[in-house]
Structure 1
């Protein structure tokens, strides 16, 4: 998507943006990159400036030379200078050892991924590979979801309802997150923040427990109509949503949640996340 990364790192709503560094070789060719994405986290009644560790890249010809560590440490100092008090991230299994063993990040917990099988023929995947059919599919998708679309650009953080801390999704944050091409659907009294690809990814949900089964039934029906075989949702353990899903669906461990506290002592044990908080959503 043209302009995706420029929008992703334009966090001007926090007062700072484009926070990170790029390394170049003597010929001026970029060879490594590390950056974080500033945001606000609400925890214990306090709103603090934080940042998510996001994209890291090193050119294959320049790996194992310490560039990742050097750029990360330089970025951490920049964060301190900008009064960012907390860093968090969701690394894959290849990146996790470097963060923990070389950069002193702490693993807080591991998110769970719930996978719901909709039982549909995956015609979305097939049509998406052919430009003309993909265009027709997009129109079909819009028509199918017409009566479910909400005018909201996102939803508030569900973890707050359980007394946990999490990303503070005010109007400015949700306007910024529009770069992710997500949608909000309303089914009955429930609101779902979702993203479509080969799967239907739930970012977060505002739902009453008594409405949960009806919401899931409608979502599975929509997935089948749209030719999507699976619905995924990632969430931290301990939340109401985690409990509602765990009573009905199996889960697998997904993203480790890691923190690096900069400066003062912050309690991170009460901070939780959902799929919507991961930078790729």
Structure 2
């Protein structure tokens, strides 16, 4: 039970990020920069900012409920949804209903901003906690691991945070042709609205690259391995040829693996299944604020994840 005289719940603003940084360290022993947090939650490019909530006990930050607005579109309309991200509570303030109270507080902020639902890629912990909030289950994503037999130089570079090394080999900017290709499929379903503004937002707190090979396009981040957030290939055969060329480049860069995580119903999944067998990945969960929203009308990608 939450006692209002003990905890103060509020909508996050820019002044709260030092407190959020403190919670990251105290709860997860994770060092993150203030700039990283400010950039990650600065979604002003969408016209909506800070849909998160934070709790203080006196002046001490004790819990945080993170969520990020995202714009999805199909061939008829655009809508906002929220992506559930970082949540944390100090150990001595757990089991008091604080996270549930913060979540419900944030949901009201979302509704006020015409956000249609909140979604998340479940971990075991988030699955249990969201059940108490009435979340529903969608489908599981599929993951595909494409191996590269090479010396793991990329893991060494990642350990010492020398990831800017890849700026020499890959470009960060997208041509309009590349964006058109990445957004050419599943137009009847809701997908993340992929634009240069979105890419600039993502690059403000993580390094991402656009790789164009023949008629294929890949949007990736490189952290020990290549994580493919989104790709387009005109056919399975074209994808197979592009992957072989990517593997040769990865071999010389010491990158041992490509990881794809895709919606099981997507064209990407069907094409990848001709190369390697899929494994189960995250279960997608959601809570709808609009009864007309049906996640069967959505296509999710790895790049939707807040940490991509």
TM-score (norm 1): 0.89
Match of 1:107 in 2: 137
Match of 1:36 among 38, 53, 67: 67
Deviation at 1:207, TM superposition (A): 1.4
Judged with a 3 Å threshold, the aligned counterparts in structure 2 of structure 1 residues 255 and 233 are, in CA distance, closer, same or farther, namely: same
Partner secondary structure for residue 80 of structure 2: strand
CA deviations on 1:73-106 (whole Å, 9 max, x unpaired) are 110011111221221111212211211x211111
Aligned to 1:62: 93
The yes-or-no answer on 1:236 pairing with 2:263 is yes
Equivalent-residue separation in structure 1 for 2:115 and 2:37 (angstroms): 21
- The offset of 1:232, in angstroms, is 0.2
Change over 3 Å in CA distance of 1:271–1:130 after alignment to 2 = closer
Q: C-alpha separation between the residues in 2 aligned to 1:258 and 1:130? A: 35
Who is 2:207 aligned against? 181
What residue in structure 2 maps to residue 152 of structure 1?
A: 174
Match among 39, 56, 60 for residue 7 of structure 1: 39
Distance 2:164 2:70 in 1: 32
Give the whole-Å Cα distance in 2 for the aligned partners of 1:11 and 1:23: 21
Gaps in structure 2 of 5+ consecutive residues: 1-31
- RMSD, matched Cα: 2.1
Q: Does 1:161 align with 2:185?
A: yes
Three-state SS of the structure 2 residue aligned to 1:72 is helix
Q: CA deviation at 1:150?
A: 6.0
2:285 is equivalent to residue 258 of structure 1 = yes
Match of 1:121 in 2: 151
The answer (yes or no) to whether the contact 1:114–1:249 under 8 Å persists in 2 is yes
> What is the rounded CA distance, in whole Å, between the counterparts of 1:177 and 1:75 in structure 2?
23
Residue of structure 1 aligned with 2:249, choices 222, 225, 228: 222
Change in CA separation of 1:220 and 1:279 when aligned onto 2, cut-off 3 Å? same
How far off is 1:159 after superposition?
A: 7.0
CA 1:175–1:196: 2 relative to 1, 3 Å = same
Match of 2:197 in 1: 172
How many residues of Structure 1 are paired with residues of Structure 2 in the alignment? 271
Q: How far apart, CA to CA, are the structure 2 residues paired with 1:267 and 1:10?
A: 28
Q: Distance in 2 between matches of 1:20 and 1:54?
A: 10
Q: Residue 247 of structure 1 is aligned with which of 259, 263, 274?
A: 274
Residue deviations 1:3-45, cap 9 Å, x none? 111111111122220111111122x111100021112111462
For the residues of structure 1 that align with 2:239 and 2:138, how far apart are their CA atoms? 28
- Partners of 2:98 and 2:259 in 1: how far apart? 35
1:51 is aligned, of 82, 87, 91, to 82
Aligned counterparts of 2:154 and 2:200: Cα–Cα separation in 1: 28
Would the alpha carbon gap of residues 46 and 142 (structure 1) be closer, same or farther in structure 2, given more than 3 Å must change?
closer
Match of 1:91 in 2: 122
Distance in 1 separating the partners of 2:42 and 2:181: 21
